[in-house]
Structure 1
Amino acid sequence: MAVTRFAPSPNGPLHLGHAYSAIVAHDLAKERGGQFLLRIEDIDGARSRPELADEFRRDLEWLGLEWDEVPTQSSRLESYDEAARELLEKGLLYPCTCTRAEIEALKPRLGPEGLVYPGTCKGRLLDPAKPAALRLDVDCAMARAGDLEWEDELAVCMTADPREAGDVVIVRKDAPASYHLAATLDDAADGVTLVTRGQDLFPATHVHRLLQALLGLPVPSWHHHGLLMDESGKKLAKRRGSPSLAERRNSGEDGLLLAEQLRLHRFPAGISLAST
Structure 2
Amino acid sequence: MKASKQFRGGKQTKIKDADAELKPLSSGDKAKDKMLVAELATQIAVQQEMLFAAGKHKVLVVLQGIDTSGKDGTVKDVFNVINPQGVQIVNFKAPSSIELAHDYLWRVHQQVPKSGDIVVFNRSHYEDVLITRVHDWIDDAECERRYAQIRDFERMLSETGTTIIKCLLHISKNEQRSRLQERIDDPAKHWKFDMQDLEERKSWDKYQELFGKAINATDADHAPWYVIPANSKTHRNLAIATILLETLLDLKLTPPDPKPELKGLKIE
Q: Report TM bin, short chain.
A: under 0.3
TM-score, normalised to structure 2's length?
Answer: 0.27
Higher relative contact order (CA 8 A, sep 6+): 2
Higher strand share: 1
Higher helix share: 2
TM-score, normalised to structure 1's length?
Answer: 0.27
